[in-house]
């Protein structure tokens, strides 16, 4: 079983002891004492820490060259390392580059308490697989456990790294092979499954991007993992990881929800590796919602009708695409008490979200008009439905309406875009209710403008939550814990 080590970054020895005890009481198997973070580290502090928490600690004195904090001079580093390795720590981490020449001396000093020696190497930049393999061999040759950490630049290289780690543990090697950065998160999520020695987890602030939280790491410990995530490019900031982490945590599901920043090639690699690496499903966002349709074995009715998928479920070599945006919008109308049958509705925008919205509205019997910056796209969208849907130019809105409901399905109002409104304020005066699919910020300029006219409004948060809840149910077969998901979304929006 991969031991979960909470990484302790305190800048003084007392703080390190306190934090280590606290992390151990919260479920960590080990505390990694990052001694390079402790200012004015001296032999007394080392002995005290060893006596207090050493039997459940990894003592790591990272050199500056490999990302350490305070970086003492070489001779000072050596004398402190001599002290560390002679004390009662469960594990001591030494570095291949900085310490290999002294390995025999260090092993002699280690004889007293026999810590497990981790020999580590941390690449500063992306490395190819032969460099990684060489580093691993060199570490394994002199340590009990070989640890290599290397930045990942894409999902493909992370998947290769997981395969390499698996090949090592199948040979009964004790290894820790970490892909750092967001793209490397799957290497951490699969640490247990692959049989890695240690899963380093965040305690407080993260020292390495992509590290799992202690809560997520302990949830995965000793259990079959369920890898979920969000596939798109670029991913930008998404609420989905926070929402799904809340759901996984609330139901104690041994899963993680990871960002997979994928171009089309990486998407293919991910699909091919899915069964092997416990990827049970993912959400799909721009630009893959339509392109992925061809790559899947089966589609549900909504995805088939719209030719767009936002949720993939994977199991037993079979992939099925769903469109939970349709479900999410439909359910949000119910939750908000919005009846649309026979009512006049104006949809602004003609992209994927607009299509899902028009599909629901048309099937519920609304009289739908679509307008868009590019009128041609609105016309194509309207023509793709069997039901009557009208496309109207933006400049014809002044002569049209009124509408019981307006739905904004453009990104206008999102951070980074102009504060302009999708339709002029004068048009809002002819609208009964404004539904903005944008959910960040929680109150958009469009909603503010509508409220100033006394109109009720809602943001896209309800739809987002319901589509996320449906995806969660499809992946896990469990009733989604909507309230914790909602709280996590609101928290992430603060």
* Helix 155-170 vs helix 129-142: crossing angle, to nearest 10: 30
CB of 351 to ligand NDP, least distance (A): 2
CB of 285 to ligand NDP, least distance (A): 8
Shorter beta-carbon distance to ligand NDP: residue 168 or 408: 408
* Candidate list 152, 437, 450, 485; residue touching ligand NDP; CB under 6 A: 437
* Candidate list 70, 173, 377, 487; residue touching ligand NDP; CB under 6 A: 377
Q: Which residue is nearest to ligand NDP (CB)?
A: 351
CB of 463 to ligand NDP, least distance (A): 4
Binding mask 298-327 for ligand NDP (x = CB under 6 A): ---------------------------x--
Per CB under 6 A, 438 contacts ligand NDP: yes
Per CB under 6 A, 25 contacts ligand NDP: no
Per CB under 6 A, 485 contacts ligand NDP: no
d(CA 353, CA 361): 12
> Judged by CB under 6 A, how many residues of this single chain contact ligand NDP?
26
Binding mask 395-434 for ligand NDP (x = CB under 6 A): --------------xxxx-x--x-----------------
Beta bridge partner(s), residue 149: 122, 178
Shorter beta-carbon distance to ligand NDP: residue 157 or 410: 410
Shorter beta-carbon distance to ligand NDP: residue 86 or 422: 422
Per CB under 6 A, 373 contacts ligand NDP: yes
Catalytically annotated residue among 147, 289, 367, 470: 289
Shorter beta-carbon distance to ligand NDP: residue 7 or 438: 438
Per CB under 6 A, 349 contacts ligand NDP: yes
Shorter beta-carbon distance to ligand NDP: residue 351 or 401: 351
Catalytic (active site) residue 430: no
Catalytic annotation, residues: 289
**Which residues contribute to the site for ligand NDP (CB under 6 A)?**
286, 325, 328, 349-354, 372-374, 377, 409-412, 414, 417, 437-439, 460, 463-464, 467
């Amino acid at each position: 079983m991969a031991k979960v080590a909470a990484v302790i970054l305190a800048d003084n020895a007392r703080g390190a002891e306190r934090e280590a005890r606290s992390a151990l009481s919260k479920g960590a198997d080990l505390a990694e004492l990052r001694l390079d973070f402790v200012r004015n580290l001296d032999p007394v502090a080392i002995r005290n820490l060893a006596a207090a928490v050493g039997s459940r600690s990894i003592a790591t004195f990272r050199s500056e060259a490999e990302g350490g904090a305070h970086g003492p001079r070489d001779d000072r580093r050596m004398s402190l390392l001599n002290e560390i390795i002679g004390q009662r720590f469960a594990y001591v981490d030494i570095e291949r580059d900085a310490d290999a020449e002294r390995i025999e001396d260090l092993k002699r000093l280690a004889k007293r308490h026999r810590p497990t020696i981790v020999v580590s190497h941390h690449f500063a930049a992306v490395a190819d697989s032969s460099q990684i393999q060489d580093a691993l061999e060199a570490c394994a040759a002199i340590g009990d456990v070989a640890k290599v950490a290397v930045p990942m630049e894409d999902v493909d290289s992370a998947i290769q790294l997981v395969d390499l780690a698996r090949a090592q543990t199948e040979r009964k090697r004790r290894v820790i092979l970490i892909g750092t950065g967001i793209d490397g998160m799957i290497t951490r999520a699969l640490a247990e499954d692959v049989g890695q020695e240690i899963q380093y987890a965040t305690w407080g602030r993260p020292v390495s991007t992509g590290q799992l939280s202690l809560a997520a790491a302990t949830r995965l410990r000793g259990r079959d993992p369920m890898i979920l995530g969000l596939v798109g490019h670029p991913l930008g900031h998404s609420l989905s990881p926070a929402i799904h982490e809340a759901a996984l945590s609330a139901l104690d599901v041994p899963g993680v929800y990871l960002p997979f920043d994928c171009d089309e090639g990486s998407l293919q690699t991910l699909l091919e590796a899915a069964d092997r690496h416990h990827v049970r499903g993912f959400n799909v966002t721009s630009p893959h919602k339509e392109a992925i349709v061809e790559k899947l074995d089966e589609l549900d009715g909504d995805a088939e009708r719209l030719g767009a998928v936002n949720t993939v479920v994977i199991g037993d070599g079979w992939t099925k695409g769903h469109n939970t945006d349709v479900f999410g919008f439909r359910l949000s109308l119910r939750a908000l008490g919005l009846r649309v049958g026979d009512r006049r509705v104006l949809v602004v925008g003609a992209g994927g979200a607009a299509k899902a919205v028009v599909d629901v509205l048309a099937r519920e019997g609304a009289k739908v008009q679509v307008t868009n910056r590019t009128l041609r796209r609105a016309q194509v969208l309207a023509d793709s439905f069997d039901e009557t849907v009208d496309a109207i130019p933006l400049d014809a809105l002044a002569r049209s309406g009124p509408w019981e409901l307006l739905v904004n399905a453009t990104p206008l109002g999102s951070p980074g875009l102009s504060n302009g409104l999708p339709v002029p304020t004068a048009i809002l005066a002819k609208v009964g209710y404004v539904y903005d699919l944008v959910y960040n910020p929680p109150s958009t300029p469009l909603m503010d403008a509508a409220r100033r006219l006394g109109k009720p409004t809602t943001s896209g948060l309800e739809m987002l939550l319901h589509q996320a809840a449906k995806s969660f149910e499809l992946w896990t077969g469990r009733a989604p814990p909507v309230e914790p998901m909602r709280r996590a979304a609101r928290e992430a929006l603060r």
